[in-house]
Amino acid sequence: MKLLLEVINLIVNNVRIEKLKKHMKEVNIDSVIIFKPENRRYISGFTGTSGYVIITGEENYVATDFRYLEQVSKQCEGFKVIELNSVHTIFDVLNELKVKRLGIEDNFVTLQFVNNLEEKCSNINIVPLNGALENIRMIKDKEEIELIKSAAEITDKAFNHILDFIKVGVKELDIAIELEYFMKKLGAEGPSFKFIIASGKRSAMPHGVASDKIIEEGDFVTIDIGCIYKGYCSDMTRTIVMGKANEKQKKIYNIVLEAQKESLKAIKPGIKGFEVDKIARDIIDSYGYGECFGHGLGHGVGLEIHENPRLAQNEMGKIVLKPGMIITDEPGIYIPNFGGVRIEDLVLVTEDGYKVLSKTTKELIEIS
């Protein structure tokens, strides 16, 4: 079984590397250095916190220090290991490899690194990757999809668990702590972001992370949660009511639910993110709450909780949806001094449409 997993990982990594090498040829670079943790893991499998992946036309390398040498040998099948230390730096390595045109993650690299590179590797021409790795990562392979499905399943179970925990008098922070504990018991590495548990008037804050506010009768409670499972993230939001919902709460909830359901129906290959966003936005605006929906409809999810593509009216919303993309669909209405509602699903773009990965009910839940 162990040998089979190693072979599968090697095949997966090779496919990903070949996609990167295709880009390298297109922009005429002979090498790429990767140090953004998510990109490093995607290409090599390395999960350590310090190191570099170097892809050249001939070989693939992981350069790291003594602490991670054994880890690299186990995780990075098909990669040569280079040890770094105080007298053998990454800049020495690049000179030894006779790199000429080097692709760098310009959306992640520090100015200090670039300055050192220009000073210590004067023969190297720096070429920005312009998000090439993130673009490759937008399309999830079968292994990634299964891992995200598992993360979504843990999230569903955690939400259903927390419904028996929430009651009047409990703090938002207590809910967040219980959710994280339960998710970890189910195999999650941890939360994929700082949980948003926002009750009462605080639910009008789209990113109202859990506070010491006490849950009260009549509160909206927005619960935006997700976990990391074997490196991959999930993301889901539901809004519940403590006690019986009043007419205004029901009205706001149903508008958001309508916007969410109708925009979901539009998700398919070939449509652009901003077009899906517009469907939800137009519905909310038609009820007079357009100014109360100020964020984009959704975002990509994978090794990072926020990735491209975006379901939004900005430049990233012009990306065309393709099979294998995993995105969120999360319209909301936020009314100051009243409260807010958000309903969010995790969604896989399929060959002929979409598949919702979040299985939790979207009917309004009232907790007595």
Sheet holding 365-367, edge to edge: 196-199, 220-225, 236-242, 365-367
pTM (predicted TM-score): 0.94
C-alpha span between 316 and 268 (Å, rounded): 17
* Secondary structure (3-state) at 120: helix
- At 6 the pLDDT is 53
Structure token digits, residue 99: 């790199």
Task: Say if residues 201 and 218 touch (Cβ distance below 8 Å).
Answer: no
pLDDT digits (tens, 9 = 90+) for 152-173: 999 999 999 999 999 999 999 9
C-alpha span between 333 and 344 (Å, rounded): 12
- At 98 the pLDDT is 96
Q: What average pLDDT values come out for the chain (368 residues) when binned by 10 residues? A: 52 87 96 97 97 96 97 96 97 97 97 96 96 97 98 98 98 98 98 98 97 98 98 98 98 98 98 98 98 98 98 96 98 98 98 98 96
C-alpha span between 215 and 199 (Å, rounded): 6
Structure token digits, residue 239: 């809004």
- At 137 the pLDDT is 98
- At 4 the pLDDT is 44
Domains and CATH numbers, the chain: 2-137 (3.40.350.10), 142-367 (3.90.230.10)
Helix axes 2-26, 37-44, angle to 10 degrees: 120
pLDDT digits (tens, 9 = 90+) for 207-219: 999 999 999 999 9
Structure token digits, residue 235: 């993301």
Alpha-carbon dihedral angle through residues 48, 54, 59, 65, given to the nearest 10 degrees: -40
Q: Which element (helix H / strand E) includes 238?
A: strand 236-242
* Secondary structure (3-state) at 5: helix
Structure token digits, residue 189: 């590495």
C-alpha span between 206 and 214 (Å, rounded): 18
